[in-house]
Amino acid sequence: MKKRGAYFFVLDALIGGAIFLISVVMIMGSYMNAPQTKQTYTLAEDLMDLLLKTKVIEFRDSEGVVAFLSDNGYITNPQQSLFQQIAELHYTNNDELAFNLTKVIVDSLLEDQYGMNYTIRETKTGINTTIYNRSAETLESAQFTLTSRKITFFSLDETTFFGPDITEFKIWS
């Protein structure tokens, strides 16, 4: 009779331990899948800083967009930043080339799980020009949206100036 009681006690302890272990694994697993918005905010600012600080001549792309722009005379100053080059292409009415350059830059740096939008908002005319938009899901259904904005100026020559305008870089997931 005593062996039967010990058997049920051990069986009860094993079932209880299994339930506890499964509960702990499920709780820990749910925390690992939650996206961290602070990292995404840092990512948005870091990408904008990369555009502002990386010179065109320093950026290497596998698709050859920079080489194409350089060979065809669209890059007037290889020492300017990628941010300035995108603005120059936009202000000289080469939005398709600005799209291609922005796409190559962003797609090489930003994971596919994030949606993003790069827009230049012209303050004088009120026109918003979307340079590049990549959507993993719609912006309205996103769990969070983060935006980085910078002021854009561009001098085409000594007499022609564009800006101040606002360049907006949105990331969502």
In one-letter notation, the amino acid at residue 7 is Y
- 40 and 26, same domain (yes or no): no
47 and 88 together in one domain: yes
Confidence of residue 40 (pLDDT cuts 50, 70, 90): low
- What was the pLDDT predicted at 34? 53
Q: Give residues with Cβ within 8 angstroms of 138, minimum separation 6.
A: 115
pLDDT 10s digits, 49-90:
999 999 988 888 888 888 898 888 888 888 989 998 898 888
Mean pLDDT lowest among 54-58, 116-120, 161-165: 161-165
The encoded tokens of residue 150 equal 């910078």
Residues 134 and 161 in one domain: yes
For residue 105, pLDDT beyond 60: yes
Q: Does 76 share its domain with 3? A: no
Q: Kindly calculate the radius of gyration of the chain based on its CA atoms and give it in whole angstroms.
A: 26
pLDDT the model gives residue 53: 92
As a whole-number percent, the residues of the chain with pLDDT over 70 amount to 88
In a shared domain, residues 43 and 126: yes
pLDDT digits (tens, 9 = 90+) for 128-153: 888 899 886 777 777 777 888 888 87
Region at 167 (left for phi over 0; alpha for psi -120 to 50; beta for the rest): beta
CA distance 36 to 146: 12
6, 89: one domain = no
- Residue 151: what are its φ and ψ, rounded to 5°? -85, 135
Q: Do 47 and 30 share a domain, yes or no?
A: no
Verify that 24 and 98 share a domain, yes or no. no
Q: Which backbone phi and psi does 138 adopt, to 5 degrees?
A: -70, 150
Residues 63 and 137 grouped into a single domain: yes
Same domain, 19 and 57: no
Tell me, rounded to whole angstroms, the distance of Cα 53 from its chain centroid.
16
Instruction: Evaluate if residue 32 carries a pLDDT over 90.
Output: no
Query: Looking at the structure, do residues 10 and 72 belong to the same domain, yes or no?
Result: no
Domain containing 12: what range? 1-34
Cα 58 to Cα 78: distance, rounded to the nearest angstrom: 9
pLDDT of 28 higher than 80: no
pLDDT in tens, 42-51: 777 888 899 9
Quote the pTM value.
Answer: 0.71
Please tell me the total count of domains within the chain: 2
